[in-house]
Amino acid sequence: MKNLSKEFFTEKEVIFMGYSSRTPQFSNMIYKAFTDAGIKVYPINPRKDGKFDVNVYSNISELPKTPKIAYILLNNENARKAVEQLMGTGVEKILFHRGKTADQQLLNDCAAAGIETAVACPLMLFGSGLHKLHAFFAGVK
């Protein structure tokens, strides 16, 4: 695992696993931060219920293509399931939202599978205001 930097997103496409209808403002803020940075987002929520402002996919198999980068905004148990779904799909990098999302064992499993990981909120990289201050203290560049 390494510190997050803009080089993590060289492919300019990302799968957003855990795009939420329960916290739509936060999911939309992250979605917008990615798209404002020129990154195409493929949001996934298996309980797709029509309450989204953007096109949301139910699972990875619905995607028109599989980006090499994924962002996971899920609890640890669901993050583990998401990683299992991502393995073997061509995903090379995973950004986990926070340490509670990815424990050391999950990070080790990703490394063993050849998947590069980082743990940070993408708003520290692509957001503004207090997010940039938080990024400074977290080592995000």
Report if residue 1 sits inside a domain. no
3-state secondary structure string, 110-132?
Answer: HHHCCCEEEECCCHHHHCCCHHH
- Which sign, positive or negative, has the C-alpha torsion 100, 102, 108, 109? positive
Q: Which among 87, 138, 139 is positioned nearest to 111, based on CA atoms?
A: 87
Taking the C-alpha atoms of residue 77 and residue 87, their distance in angstroms, rounded to an integer, is 16
Structural domain including 126 reads: 6-138
Looking up residue 10, the CATH number of its domain turns out to be 3.40.50.720
Structurally, the chain folds into a number of domains equal to 1
Taking only the tens of pLDDT, the chain with its 141 residues reads 456 777 888 889 999 999 887 777 888 889 999 999 999 999 999 876 657 778 889 899 999 999 999 999 999 999 999 999 999 999 999 999 887 788 999 999 999 999 999 988 888 777 654 444 444 444 445
Q: Residue 74 falls within a domain, yes or no?
A: yes
Is residue 118 within 8 A of residue 8, CB to CB? The reply is yes
